[in-house]
Every structure is written in C-alpha cells, then in structure tokens.
Amino acid sequence: MIVPFCRPDITLDEAVAALNTLQSGWLTSGPQVEQFEQALAERTHCSHAVVVNSCTSALILAIKAQNITGEVILPSFTFAATANAVVLAGATPIFADILPDTYNIDPDHILSLITSRTEAILPVHFAGQCCQMERIQEMANEHHLAIIEDCAEALGASYHDHPAGSFGTGCFSFFPTKTITTGEGGAITTNDSALATRCRLLRAHGVAKDNWRRSTIEPGYNFRLSDILASIGLVQLSRLDTMNAARKKAARYYNISLPGHLGLPIPSLHCDHVYQMYALTLPHRDRFVDSLRSLGVEASAHFDPPVHLHHYYQSRYPSPPLPVTEETSRNIATLPIFPSITQEELDIVVNAIHRISKELR
C-alpha cells in the first residue's frame, strides 16, 4: 500500500458545482469569481479579496500594485516562487534567517536587515503556522514598510485570533497540496480599496472597462481565475474548518506516536496551526526519506536547498550565510498529511518511521 504525500479532498459537491458552472455558459471570470472573492474576504476578516490564477501571481500583483521597487526582506526557507515574484515584480530580495523552532522568519534578523532601501517585509507562514506578526507589524509601522504575507500554506491559520492574510496584504495558494484547492489558483486579501482596485486592473491586462469600451490604463497580465475553478473553491472554502480539523487530528496522532528523539513540530503560543504540512527534523534525513519511500510512504523535504543557495540567487543576489536556514534545510523531512488520511495510512507511516529510526540510530 502506498501512502501518498497529498491527496486532494474532492467530493461530489465540488463536481456538481463545476458542472453547474459549465452548464451556465459563463466559463471565464464572472459571478462565481465574485462570490468566491466575497467569501474569502469574509473568511480572512478583510474588506477585499482578489482571486487570481496562482499565489505567485498574487505576490507579483501585491508588490506591483504598491509600486515596490526597493528591497523586500523575506525568508530563504521557502519555495522559489516567493523570491521569483519579488524579482519579477521589479524589487530586490533580501534573505533573512528563520527561527529554529517554528522555521518561520526570525524577527530579530529582519530588524538587522532593514535599511533606507527597504520597502517591504514578506513573511512566509510555514506549513500552516503564522509568523510572529505582532513584532513584524511593529517593525513595519516604525519603518513605514509594507507587509506582504505569503499565506500559501496557511488559509485558516491565525495569530492572536487574527486570520493569516489580515495583517497586511495576504497572498494565498489553492494548489492541490494546500488547505483548499481549485487545482491552480490564488488570491490577494487586503483592507485597502485602492490596492484591491489596482490588483483587479493588473490581473486583466490593465484594461479598464467603461460599458462596452475598453482602454488600457497600464500594462497588465492575464492572471484571471475562471468561474469553473472559483465554483470549486467556494465549496472547498465551505469545508475548510472540517478539513483543517482533520489535519490537526492527524498531526496529534503523529505527535503522540512518533519517536521522541525526532524534532517534531512545535506550535507557537497564540497560533492556530493548521498543519498544511507535517515537518520534522532529524540527522540522516536523506536516508530517512529514501527509506520511507522504499516502504511506500511518500515523504519529502521542504525546502532543500533554500532559495539563497539556488544557482540564480547565488549569482544575482548573493546572501551571507543563514545558519539556521541551512541546517534546517539539510535536516527537515515532511510526512504525508491531508484531510482524508486514514488511520491505516497513519499507522503505516508511524510503523515505518519506528522501523527506520532503529536502523539509523
């Protein structure tokens, strides 16, 4: 039996919603997109949500729409898309180290990196747990910096009861591994009406509509989401709490069942961790992951190498060593976790880890 790393939780309701949209004749952005945006804004306690075709597109628009062209501080411990969006939007990435317990960006290191060229802080909420947003907000306010949250892994998570995506400009992903999915898709959340308006303009070629007349206000993109995918997203969003509860239940089972010498995830105070991924750290990580895969458990490693050690970023945006990031990337492993994971599958993972741990110790 193979235990997959991820299995999207799609029900008949999503299929019916997509079919109804197909039969409606409105396939591109339309009424389903508008309803999805309203539901996302309500869910994140924001005034506006703008849905797009990926979180990468959301990040690009969040930076472009705020005219950010200077330095953006972000963690290197993230998927390359976060840094790619900074570069593609015309800004400069400055890489910060992470905390050794949560693997989220280190606020103290952010503070040391702020210069007269800094224009934004881009925290990434790793694996479903929010960064220390209170401190990050204090720094941003003091230095007049924008906050752009990479919430790709954190829809439904919160910090001090404030939802991820409500601390600045939030950027979400609806990729199949995330807490909800539309196959491909993303969103921007904000309380800034002007920012939301400009994001909507830029996602659709920069064209303003005046009844049947269309005029290009500025060069834009085709970052639109279709009504077909939005209809799936609406159903998924209505099931978010149930799916996140299932993730948390699986994480609790891992926490009490896995060997104590492994570096298991540590929930932070004041955070509602939704366990989009279940990450642990251990020596001999590569042998561990290879051994799990040989036993039918599709484990992985997020993120190795960290972005500042990718060839492009080493040559174009060289960074000083980031010791916690580099050590974490060498030692981290991510286990299967998804809403529909069964007890049998969890037991297969746990038993395989106990077996491998004895062999590696």
Active site residues: 178
SS3 109: helix
- Count Cβ atoms within 10 A of the Cβ of residue 214 and give its class: 0-12 exposed, 13-18 middle, 19 or more buried: exposed
Residues in contact with 158: Cβ distance below 8 Å, sequence separation at least 6, in sequence order: 130, 164, 271, 272
139 membership: H or E segment, kind and range: helix 133-143
Contact 225, 183 (CB under 8 A): no
70/90 Cα distance (integer angstroms): 8
Residue 48's alpha-carbon distances to 161, 191, 332, in angstroms, are 19, 6, 36
Task: Render the burial of 90-118: b for 16+ CB within 10 Å, e for the rest.
Answer: ebbbbbbbbbeebbbbbbebbbeebeeeb
Q: How far apart are CA 313 and CA 322, in angstroms?
A: 14
Per the CB < 8 A criterion, the answer to whether 109 and 89 are in contact is no
**Which residues, in sequence order, are bridge partners of residue 159?**
162, 271
In this structure, are residues 292 and 299 in contact, taking their beta carbons and an 8 Å threshold? yes
Phi, psi for 47 (deg, rounded to 5): -75, -30
**Pair 201, 218: CB distance under 8 Å:** yes
